[in-house]
Amino acid sequence: MTEDASSVEAQKAGGGASPAEATRYKGALHWLVRIAERAGYSDTTRPDLPAGSSAPEAWSEVTKAYGISDPQLAELVAEYFRLNVADVNRADPNAALLIPETMARKHHIFPLSEDDRQLVVATCDPTNVEAERALGFSTGRTPLFQVAAPRVIQDALDQRFSPEKAVDVLLGGLADDISEDAVKLVEEMGPESISEDDIASTPVVKLTNLIIRDAITQGASDIHIEPGRKLGAVRYRVDGVLRKHMDLPMAALNRIISRIKVLSKLDIADRLRPQDGKARVQVRGRSYDLRVSTIPAGGAEKCVMRVLDSSSALSLDELEIPKHELDRLRGLLAHRSGVVVVTGPTGSGKTTTLYGALRELADGKVNIMTVEDPIEYELPGITQTQVQTKQGMTFAGALRAMLRQDPDVILVGEIRDKETAVTAFQAAMTGHLVLTTVHANDAVSAVSRLADLGLQYSTISQTLRGAAAQRLLRRVCGSCAEPVRGQLTPDEQRLTERHGIEPVVRAVGCPDCGFTGYRGRLPVNEVLVGGPRMAQAIEQRKGWATLQRVAIQGGMRTMHQVGLEWVKQGRTTLVEVERVLGQGLDEDSTDGTKSAPRILLVDDDHDARLLMRTMLESDGFEIEEAEDGYKALDILKADQEFQLVILDLSMPGMDGRQVLQQIRGSIDSAAVPVLIRTATGSNAIETELLEAGADDYIDKAADTDRFMARVRAVLRRAM
């Protein structure tokens, strides 16, 4: 407990007693009585004080019975245990952050100071072994006791742990002036705002506004206010990644959340149910919408605020969508009927992209209506409807009402259930262009997601114009990014081998980007465009792999391909691509091992198949064989997961040309790369095979190195 009080022998040598020794006397006489009488206060009537009385109670009885003041008794107790008298007025405010208020009040202790190894606390009971153990376990530091009267400790706790005091201490450490960048609350029904005097009137209001202002200044999309055991935390999501902004005492955090609930018109007394609300604020004269969500968390509440810039709706040209994907997206928007779906996780920019599309379509010649939950941006010339579930205004209900408003284009914020899905697709089939979002991993997966919601595959095939998937990559900071001049780090070398390209720049970190190395974001999109072959594949309920191949054959670039293109341009890094998108088309299998490319060998010559199989398997490929074209087509019909077909041109029964024709004419295998082997190579045959749909061809007389090089080249192009 202390360097002096930890040794019983040392205590005895000095005439005092250790806490453990004093505890042994409790069965006969309270230790405070023994200390007072040992100091000469024995002429008066001994107080009726049971040995097991609490220290605060005993302290009150002893001072009253013997006429001793609190400071005098503190001196006697400190002398007896060879401890120091505590000076709570010189306590370090940061020390109180180490222990919760409940622990401090339970054990009647007050934190005074701390370092990496020790925590000094004031106590009125140096014999409290339970407090000593609790402090050591909770803080990981050795507790050192100093003595103070119970009333002194109680007053210090009341002052230190009051919310106003906690916030004052925090604000003092920030040393920030809120007056220049005041955050004003804009009332929903009018232009009123909180006055400057009100903004600075209370510490809680001031700190809440500082949190909101700093988030907006740093470009945060979300503000997280999170409770903890001892300390709460404020974190900002900047460029898709959470970063800690500050720690908060729990007392202050609870008051700040209450302040936010007041701003967003939530019930501050209800802390047992999730609540959602919204508020509008002004920072530096610019309006921002806050979507507020609270949820119970471990006896406290967590609050998350989504920050929406009301004036930042961008056009499609301003979103930096790659040209290939932008052209395909505009092609989908050119239709005047059907459904266009945008997919992606929360925070991937789906709504921003859709709003950009609406701005492009809003030329004054069409009636555009939206149903959203919530309305994130206000768009001029467009009728926007807010979902009000409590009032019976659901997505499906609002959509049915809109159909009587003569719309040309309808935006459904999200398809969440069968009723909304059916209504949206019915609207599309009656001559409306419907834009919407669903939660799916990629563009192709939107099909299965719509089917899961209850739509018939025939309906999807007839009505779905296309689907776009989107993610956001962090852009390397222009102030600190450094070029990669051939000197790759081990991680960069690993990623280069995995993805097949070298990075151009690397993220470093500087004050401009918060030492992350990234500032701003870039979109990566993939756009599936429907057509007869895609509609046929959907109606036949083909799996993801088949739909993906058909989409790629129709000109779709995957998000992974687009991300690597940004890397080649020096706009982002391979690390960021893999963080957001994973490893791409050749990512690890579900069992954690890398999936080997699968190749189908089609050749009537057994020895030739054996030779090729030996070469390919030694290089890590998974091989399956077919001795003729008929068996090859049966295999491909049953299994669409081959990355390459190596096909002999001259075979009995069905030659390579006929097999190739069948492969290209089937939905199941149309996109599978085909490498032709021929013994009669010529320019005419090469032209014929390539025009028939072969991806490459090679002479049977080619050596092993040339053969393997052709195989790898075809696979690289296919990926």
Quick: pLDDT tens for 127-185. Answer: 999 999 888 888 888 999 999 999 999 888 877 766 555 566 555 555 445 544 456 65
**pLDDT tens digits, residue range 95-131?**
877 787 778 888 999 999 988 789 999 999 999 999 9
- Map residue 260 onto helix, strand or coil: helix
Contact call for residues 260 and 268 (beta carbons, < 8 A): no
Sign of the dihedral through C-alpha 29, 32, 37, 42: negative
Alpha-carbon distance of 220 to 243, in angstroms, equals 10
Residues paired with residue 600 on neighbouring β-strands, in sequence order: 624, 645
Of 157, 182, 184, nearest to 100 by C-alpha is: 157
Give the global pTM: 0.61
pLDDT score, position 225: 94
CA angle 579–376–365, rounded 5-degree value: 115
**Sequence-separated contacts (24+) of 12-18 with Cβ below 8 Å:** 14/82, 16/79, 16/80, 16/81, 16/82, 17/80, 17/81, 18/81
Alpha-carbon distance of 41 to 51, in angstroms, equals 18
pLDDT score, position 395: 85
Radius of gyration of the chain (CA): 36
Contact call for residues 106 and 117 (beta carbons, < 8 A): no
- Map residue 529 onto helix, strand or coil: strand
- The stretches in the chain having pLDDT less than 70 are 1-28, 43-44, 161-202, 310-313, 583-596, 681, 718-719
Residues paired with residue 308 on neighbouring β-strands, in sequence order: 289
96 contacts: CB under 8 Å, gap ≥ 6: 104, 110, 111, 160, 161, 249
Average pLDDT, the chain: 83
Contact call for residues 288 and 310 (beta carbons, < 8 A): yes
Alpha-carbon distance of 384 to 382, in angstroms, equals 6
Alpha-carbon distance of 282 to 266, in angstroms, equals 20
CA atoms within 13 A of residue 26's CA, in its CB half-sphere: 14
Tokens read off for 136: 């050591």
Alpha-carbon distance of 395 to 424, in angstroms, equals 9
pLDDT score, position 201: 47
pLDDT score, position 171: 59
